Amino acid sequence: MLSKLVHNNMQAKIQHNIPLHDKNWFRTGGAAEFYCAPETDAEFTAALIWAHQQQLPITLLGEGANVLISDAGCTGLVIRPALTTITHTHEEATACVTAGAGVSFGTLINYCLDNQIIGLEEFSGIPGSVGGSVFINIHYFEFLLSNFLVHAQVIHKQTGELILVDRAWFNFGYNYSKLHEHEYYLVSATFALKHVSEMEAAYARGRSVEIIRHRAQRYPKSHTCGSFFRNFFPEEVSYESAGKKMIYVAYYLDKIGVKGQLAVGDAIVSYQHANMLVNRGTATTADLLNLARNMQELVHKNFGIVPQAECRFLGFTEHPLR
């Protein structure tokens, strides 16, 4: 049971009508009806209990790198975890690193390299917090974040109970984890990595820099959510190349010539990647949605299939696309 003091302090930290456009990568969207950024486990628990007592819906927000927020904002309580502690232990070549859900993944990578710990640099340049990265099970080529996670602390949405879970609990898949069920939220995660020599750590840092450079050449670096549409499942497509189903949505978007051309207001398809939408400055969420619908319609007209969003939609009462 929370102490009355902790509960009262949490109520003081819950803010009303807080803009969210500066808390996501698209830089669009309205305000949160209520908003808080808990810095401790106790504050996180208190915020959830308060929302439950007020019968408010809860929306969890990380760095907002893979979301599109409604122009009307989000009703209920938006929680943006600010648990930013990182610790590690190591014995010879094995290191275990624990990071709070609010830690920027780039910060975690740099912490590891500073302490001669390698493994996570494979995800360099991918935006997001630890919480969001575990939620989506970030990946880069053959590397999946789930390959490194050994256990984590999660919190129950309604009761605020904290439990320790192992990797299997997450039921990880491609772009998926059990956290998608929205019954539990991540508090912290522990990763099994390698403790190495200074020379090996320096090599890994160089690799990190090169991965970031490579990503900067291929993808927009701001005002985007990354890949907007997911790739197709094999059963959804009939076109084949070299005997394999062409599941990559960017292939179809490239074919219809939208890259750097198709736009609605200040919302435009990136010139670098046909599956990435960019806010050139004053786009609204409505502009981005209209652009995405145009892309869906063009692909359907030309290929008979409809791209489905990978981007998460926050604050909508119904799905905003086809």
Q: What is the pLDDT of residue 9?
A: 58
Cα 101-275-126 angle, rounded to 5 deg: 30
To the nearest whole number, what is the mean pLDDT of the chain? 94
What tokens were used for 144? 């999946």
pLDDT in tens, 188-218: 999 999 999 999 999 999 999 999 999 999 9
Q: What is the pLDDT of residue 137?
A: 96
**Residue bearing the bigger pLDDT, 92 or 36:** 36
What average pLDDT score do residues 46-67 get? 96
Q: What is the pTM of this model?
A: 0.93
* Residues contacting 321, CB < 8 A, separation 6+: 289, 292, 293, 296, 308, 309
**Residue bearing the bigger pLDDT, 292 or 221:** 292
Query: Which domains, ranges and CATH numbers included, belong to the chain?
Result: 4-79 (3.30.43.10), 86-218 (3.30.465.10), 234-314 (3.90.78.10)
Q: What is the pLDDT of residue 170?
A: 98
CA distances from 5 to 10, 137, 141, 238 (A): 9, 37, 48, 61
Q: What is the pLDDT of residue 309?
A: 97
Q: How confident is residue 98, by pLDDT bands cut at 50, 70 and 90?
A: very high
What tokens were used for 170? 């997450």
User: Could you give the 3-state DSSP secondary structure of residue 245?
Assistant: strand
DSSP secondary structure, 249-316, as one string: HHHHHHHTT-TTT-EETTEEE-SS-TTBEEE-SS--HHHHHHHHHHHHHHHHHHHS----B-SEEES-
Give the burial class of 168: count Cβ atoms within 10 A of its Cβ; 0-12 exposed, 13-18 middle, 19 or more buried: exposed
- Give the span between the Cα atoms of 208 and 202, in whole angstroms: 10
Q: What is the pLDDT of residue 205?
A: 97
Pairing of strands 312-314, 67-69: parallel
Pairing of strands 244-245, 263-264: unpaired
| Contact between 18 and 32 (Cβ < 8 Å) | yes
Q: How confident is residue 5, by pLDDT bands cut at 50, 70 and 90?
A: very low
pLDDT in tens, 101-125: 999 999 999 999 999 999 999 999 9
Q: What is the pLDDT of residue 6?
A: 47
Dihedral in degrees, nearest 10, Cα atoms 100, 105, 106, 108? 40
What tokens were used for 265? 């207001």
- Give the span between the Cα atoms of 102 and 171, in whole angstroms: 22
pLDDT in tens, 12-29: 689 999 999 999 999 999
* Residues contacting 31, CB < 8 A, separation 6+: 17, 18, 19, 20, 73, 74
Q: What is the pLDDT of residue 3?
A: 46
